[in-house]
Amino acid sequence: MSDPLVRLENVRFAYGERTILRDISLSIPRGKVVAIMGGSGCGKTTLLRLIGGQEKAVGGQVRVDGQDVATLGRDALYAMRRRMGMLFQFGALFTDMTVFDNVAFPLREHTELPAELINDLVLMKLHAVGLRGAARLMPGELSGGMARRVALARTIALDPMLLMYDEPFTGLDPISLGVIGQLIRRLNDALGASSVIVTHDIQESLQIVDYIYFISEGRVVAEGTPDEIRHTTDPFVHQFVHAEVDGPVPFHYPSDDYAAALTGGKA
């Protein structure tokens, strides 16, 4: 197996005093779909921002296609981002442009292609996500699932080597959710790209990904293929997969003694 497309080594990250990632090491092999899972607010999205170079790690290294992201200047970083695609949680479509113009945006910004060719490319991308017929609509006229599919078409407009998905399943009905899941898998294989999905939707992920990392309290606490995850005895993964209320991830936010709080400390 060749070297992985993305490799994180002992990455630490903090927003000011608040430590988000303590010591993360993981890799995303070429051609694979990898899920990064964990509870809300555990730093999953931050991981994507580190890979995309929107944040810089406090410690450790983030390497994408052999390059240390933190050391790249602006031009080199932008050159790298042209080979990456990121799907934002709610699509982040440009609301003042039609669906067509949204998908054409990266092509128009980064290529000198003639309008006819851009037209064909955009229609092909939209066809791939099943929304060629919606090309003339405005983003406000789309449902949540459709908006995300359009955003997906825009993400793959420049045929990226790495696709990043930030919570792609959030707030979708079961049909849209299945559609997005299948599209992520199919597009990854068709483009020969690699994908990272940041999500907490365990059931959908188990069906489409090749490998899963679990993150909790800024560390990788478990990892494995979907089969290994289904049969694991790890208490954290077990709680996560079976959606148990209490376990290694506590129900209560850390607080002082309950009885003392109720009696104003007089007990």
Partner 1 sequence: MGGLRKLGSVAIEVVWQLGFIARFFWLILVYSGQSFTRLNLTIRELYFSGVLSLLIILVSGLFVGLVLGLQGYEILQRYGSSDSMGTMVALSLLRELGPVVAGLLFASRAGSAVTAEIGLMKVTEQLKAMDMMAVSPIARVVAPRFWGGVISMPLLAAMFSTMGIFGGWLIGVVFIGIDDGAFWSQMQAAVDFRYDVLNGVIKSCAFGVAVSLIAVFQGYDCVPTAEGVSRAITRTVVSSALAILALDFVMTSFMFRGL
Q: Which residues bind partner 1 (CB under 8 A)?
A: 52, 54, 78-79, 81-82, 84, 86, 88-90, 92-95, 105-106, 109-110, 151
Q: How distant, in Å, are the alpha carbons of 114, 115, 132, 216 from that of 107?
A: 10, 10, 17, 38
DSSP state of 94: -
**Secondary structure of residue 68 in the 3-state scheme:** strand
- Considering the complex, state which of residue 142 and residue 221 has its C-beta at the smaller distance from partner 1: 142
Least Å from the CB of residue 79 to partner 1: 7
Our CB check for partner 1 shows the closer of 163 and 222 to be 163
The distance of closest approach from Cβ of residue 261 to partner 1 in the complex, given in angstroms and rounded to an integer, is 29
Q: What is the nearest approach in angstroms of partner 1 to the Cβ of residue 45?
A: 11
Closer to partner 1 by CB, 35 or 84: give it: 84
Cα–Cα distance, 168 to 148 (Å, whole number): 8
Phi, psi of 106 (to 5 degrees): -65, -35
Q: Which C-beta is closer to partner 1: that of 7 or that of 81?
A: 81
H helices within the chain, ranges in order?
A: 44-51, 74-81, 99-110, 115-128, 144-155, 174-191, 202-208, 226-230, 235-241, 258-262
Rounded to the nearest whole angstrom, what is the least distance from the CB of residue 152 to partner 1 in the complex? 12
Tell which residue, 130, 211, 227, 228, has the closest CA to residue 175: 130
39: closest CA among 166, 157, 216, 234? 216
Q: Which two tokens stand for residue 192?
A: 């020969």
Nearer to partner 1, 86 or 220 (CB): 86
**Helices 115-128 + 144-155 axis angle, to 10:** 130
Nearest-approach distance from CB 96 to partner 1, in angstroms: 8
Give me the phi and psi of 33, to 5 degrees please. Answer: -110, 120
Residue 185 beta carbon to partner 1: minimum distance, rounded to whole angstroms = 22
For residue 200, how many other CB atoms are within 10 A of its CB? 18
Looking at the Cβ atoms of 112 and 227, the one nearer to partner 1 is: 112
